[in-house]
Amino acid sequence: MTTSKSNLFKPIKVGNTTIKHRIAHLPTTRSRATAEHVPTDLNKTYYTDRAKSGALIIAEATLISLNQGIYPHVPGIWTQQQSDAWKEIVDSVHAVGGKIAVQLWALGRVGNAKLLKENGLPLTGASPIYEHEQAEKDAIEAGNPIQELTQEQIKDLIYNQYTNAARLADAAGFDFIELHGANGYLIEQFISPVTNKRTDKYGGSIENRSRFLFELIDHLNTVVDPAKLAIRLSPLNDFQVPEVNPSAEEDYTYIIEGLQQRADEGKGLAFIDVVDERYNPDGSIRPRTVQFVDKVWKGVLVKGGSFTYDKKEGEWTTIQSVADADDRTLIGFGRHFIANPDLPERIKNGHPLNPYDRSTFYAGYNYGYNTYPFYGQEIKADPEEKLAGKALA
């Protein structure tokens, strides 16, 4: 692979931060935090190892509060303890030359009704629509049927919960703060007409369905430096939703135009992280594309979801051509970065990849997390060793 004239391994300025190259670690939930949602020493090792190549690390989805949904052993950032633990990770990533973003996460209707009930909290969403019949059954059995968020609750989300999380993330030293607006979680639940059936100012037209997102961004622009903010979007998503948004191109064009207008006014996001058009959970290729995002947004884009080597392992002409098509695109990897802590160097040098093991993605222990070797390294790991993480703060 010839990289001397490629953008792939050239530095790029993102917001007010310079990243050493254009290969990014996408947010990948791994369920290695404590039961109290505090990041651990295992998280620190994982992110530090993947930052050693100078990559932009977008950390896993991180809960803004218990109020907006609970999954076991995922990290949060609503307490000082959690922020202090994240700061250890951020400082470690910076020490080896990497940059890191937190991803702020509100689950909405796909939160765990039983866990919420145990914490005295309601299951809420943009509209009282369950993900599927089993989710409805589980919520009713838990005595926690889904409720539509009231306007007062929406205000609390924006001005208290997201604000608190953003301030704690900023205090922890994150280079960027990414809003999780994809994959069927709360922000997308507001955007999609399939999951938003509200009749107030947050429902109906795309102007109304995008109101929550724009109110959130406009407020956070007053809380942290706008050059630190980013968002992840998945216009063609069919995960945790009944179907792909039927007005996806129209709706997301409107949203991107709004984001670009803010950028033109000096309040631009650091980047938009978009799930590319090739991603499908079953591995097939979508007939539709998200190229309309490129046409409207003039800033930095992180694209990812299905990028891999070409027909022959060790050949990376596709990602090189995507990076070279403009001077503002980063190529994001999830599964390959999970299994290869030195992924950018392997790509640069044409080295073979470690295969990833899906069965360990959410296993909760160190095996399958920090047991993938760097190129040329040998690690003898016992899959039966149940090594859990220890809270960093």
Contact partners, residue 272, CB within 8 Å, separation at least 6: 230, 231, 232, 233, 256, 259, 293, 297, 299, 300, 301, 302
Residue of 66, 60, 69 lying closest to 189 (CA atoms): 69
Q: Helix-strand-coil percent breakdown of the chain, rounded to 5?
A: 35, 15, 50
Residues near 191 by beta carbon (within 8 Å), at least 6 away in sequence: 181, 206, 209, 210, 213, 245, 251, 252, 255
Token pair 């980063």 is found at 330
Which of 109, 119, 118 shows the shortest CA–CA distance to 145? 109
Token readout for 269 is: 């996001």
Over the range 113-122, which residues count as b (16 or more CB within 10 Å of their CB) and which as e?
bbbbbeeebe
Structure tokens at 232: 């992840």
Report CA-CA distances (Å) from 364 to 32, 78, 340. Answer: 5, 22, 19
Q: Which of 47, 71, 162, 185 is catalytic?
A: 185
β-partners of residue 103 are 61, 178
User: How many whole angstroms separate alpha carbon 190 and alpha carbon 209?
Assistant: 5
**From CA 58, how far away is CA 147, in angstroms rounded?**
31
Q: d(Cα 57, Cα 52) in Å, to the nearest integer?
A: 10
Beta bridge partners of 104: 62, 179
Task: Of 161, 299, 275, give the one whose Cα is nearest residue 220.
Answer: 161
Helix (H) / strand (E) containing 359: none
Angle at 119 between CA 118 and CA 121, to 5 degrees: 105
Beta bridge partners of 76: 63
User: Is 185 labeled as catalytic in the residue annotation?
Assistant: yes
- List the catalytic residues: 185
